[in-house]
Structure formats: structure tokens, C-alpha cells
Structure 1
Amino acid sequence: MFEDNHAAGGVFDFDEIADHLIEQGEDVSPSELHGCLTGLICAGATGEAAAGLAGVNQALKLDLHGELADLMLRLYDVTQAALQDDEFEFHPLLPDDDIELTLRVDALALWCRGFMSGFARVTASAGRGSQGLPGDSAEILKDIAMMIEAGVDEDLSEDESEANFMEIVEYLRFATLNVFMDTQGQLESGELTPPSVH
């Protein structure tokens, strides 16, 4: 969800990215793409955006090119900057709030799936899996993995479901920042070796 008051300054439009994906014949959600980019960065792959694009292509078995690849390069840079920002400007890329809740919940689940794919790609290439992560981050990764199965509870009212969704998004936002900061702390202290993504 990138709006004018969020990190990307309104540059990234969910529907525009979705249209590019359809044009390229890729059956993947913009949320899953952003989740994957974020997972790569949170696992420590804070190198060049081109390496991030290659990582996404490999983790999700895609072949993004042309204008969409350019968009992904910019999204990688903006996401990395948002994660590093002291004002906690990071937000997952999800459909607008006026979209039906079921579709937003589906997109949230796909974002989480993408995050886990990107995170796993980096940690596997570095030969460390989830070992060595501080306790909070290890638990957060389990939570994010569980969110891949997220759905709407039909027994709740629309207002309750909406409130629950917003609460989960906010948790996900700060949980992601927590994993990023833990990894950065370990990289800076030398506990982790910086991985390379090619």
C-alpha cells in the first residue's frame, strides 16, 4: 500500500504493476513480488537493485523484463530505503483499501509467501537457513509463514474483519522491520557473512 504519505511517494500503483505482469504472461501478484523483494533485503541481500531483480526472478521462477523490470529496480531501491528509514516508513504493497477485503487478504497471504521465498533464497545461498537469527526474528518468520494461509472469518462482521486486517498489516509491517534490523545488526557485528544474490 504505497500512498503519498508512504515510502514510495505514490510512485507505485498496484494495478499498473498487475497490468504489466499480465502483459508479460506472468501469473503472480504485485504483492508477492514486493514480498519477495522485501524478503531478499531482510535476509541481508542489500546490494544492487539489479541483483535483487535477479533474486526475484530466480526465487519466483519469473522472467521480468522491459518496463516491469525497471519498475522492480525502483521498487527494490525504495523498499530498501524504507526499511532503513528511522521514521518506519515501510509498508507492504497491497491493493487499495477500497478493494474487497477478501482480495486484500489474498494479497496479504501472497505477500507473505513472496517474503518467505525471498528470505529463503538468500539464507539458503548463504548456507545458513534460519539458524543464528535472534529469537524474535525466528518467531516472526513462523508468524509470516502462517499468514500464507490467511483468510476472512465469515463469522465476523465486516467492521470486525476490517479491523482485524488492519491490525495484521500493522503487525506485519513492524515484524518485517524487526527482522531487517536484527539481520543488519548481525551483519554489522560480523555474526553473519553478507550473502550475495546473483
Structure 2
Amino acid sequence: MTYRAISEILEQHDADFGAAEAHGVATGMLCVEIKADVENWLRELFADGQHLADDDKNLLCGIFEQTRTLLENQNDEFAFDLLLPDEDDALAEQVEALRCWCQGFLFGVGYAHTDADWPGDTAEVMRDMIELTKIDSELGEGDDENALIEIREYVRAAVFTVRDQFAEQNPLQPH
């Protein structure tokens, strides 16, 4: 499942989110509650009750379930990655997608966790994610590509910090 394929489905059905942001929402929801319901995610993506073709719905459900599986797999945290444009795409597009992904992650965590208390280091991670939603996509090349890679790796690590903190708070929840 590629970023482009998911983008096309979401655009075709006038989703309220792009591919990166939608994946961020799914990831945030699953970090708080690994048993999150895919139907709740779909309702957020298509607030107007858009009817999806079975193939499109199956593909979207597949990305959600794949994300769940990758987040549950504690033995290989490197298998999980953010759904973002390819490294060959324009740097500005990659940065904008990362910004949207972080925005979606914040939404997903907030959707699943309405309590004001954040477990462990989660509050600090949320502040960092908020700062990343302000990132400027009009960057130059060169060092900015390396910076983007570092930020992307930080976000990946932050996802597992949030997942682990919520799992500790809810010890009955498998992770």
C-alpha cells in the first residue's frame, strides 16, 4: 500500500484528511487503544458518511490493520513507518506530509484519549508534535534532507513512547 494509492482513494471520495494525516490519526488512535475500531477511523475520514467501494474500504481497513500489527510488534519497532511520500518526491511535499502526519497523530490521540492527564513522557511528546505541525515546508535542499530524516526518526520513536506510556497506564491492553 503506497502513499499515492491511499491519497487517490481519499481524494476520490472527498475525505476530510490526506493520506499522511489519515495515517497519523490511525496511529494516534492505536497508540492510545490498540483495539481501536477501524470503523471509528473511517467515520472520521469521511464525516459526510461517504459510501466506499468494497475494494477501497478493504484497502483503507488494510492500512489500519497493518498499522495495528506493526504497533503491536514489540520485537521489530523498525518495521513501523510513517505513511509519507517517497524520498524521491519534492522535499517540500515530504515536509508538508510530515507536518500533516503529526497533526493527524495529535487528532488521533485526542480522539482516543479525552482525559487531561497524560501518562509518563506523553505530554512532552505531544508538545513536540504540536511544534512539528508548525514546520515550514518551504525549505532548501542539502542539509534539510538530513534534518527531515532525523525528524522522521524522532517521530517514529515518539510513536512508540506514546504507545508504551498508554500501555503502562492500561496494563490489560496488549501491546
Give TM-score scaled by structure 2 length: 0.87
Residue in 2 aligned with 1:15? Answer: 4
Instruction: Please say if residues 33 and 56 of structure 1, whose CA atoms lie closer than 8 Å, have aligned partners that are also in contact.
Output: no
Change (3 A) 1:153 1:14: closer
Residue in 2 aligned with 1:92? Answer: 82
Displacement of 1:59 in angstroms is 7.0
In structure 1, the gaps of 5 or more residues are 1-11
Provide the aligned length of Structure 1 versus Structure 2: 170
Residue in 2 aligned with 1:58? Answer: 44
Instruction: Please say if residues 53 and 72 of structure 1, whose CA atoms lie closer than 8 Å, have aligned partners that are also in contact.
Output: no
User: How far apart are the structure 1 equivalents of 2:72 and 2:63?
Assistant: 14
Displacement of 1:171 in angstroms is 0.2
Counterpart AA for 2:43: N
Q: What is the percentage of aligned positions where both structures have the same residue?
A: 25
Displacement of 1:81 in angstroms is 1.3
1:175 maps to 2:158: yes
Over the aligned positions, Cα root-mean-square deviation in angstroms equals 2.2
1:115 maps to 2:119: no
Deviating more after overlay: 55-64 vs 181-190:
55-64
Counterpart AA for 1:160: D
* Aligned-partner SS, 2:170: helix
Counterpart AA for 2:153: E
Summarize the alignment of residues 114-193 of structure 1 with structure 2, pairs less than 5 Å apart: 114-124=104-114, 128-129=115-116, 131-134=117-120, 136-152=121-137, 154=139, 158-188=141-171
Instruction: Please say if residues 79 and 90 of structure 1, whose CA atoms lie closer than 8 Å, have aligned partners that are also in contact.
Output: yes
Instruction: Please say if residues 109 and 147 of structure 1, whose CA atoms lie closer than 8 Å, have aligned partners that are also in contact.
Output: yes
Q: Deviation string for 1:1-37 (max 9, x for gaps)?
A: xxxxxxxxxxx11111111122212353100110000
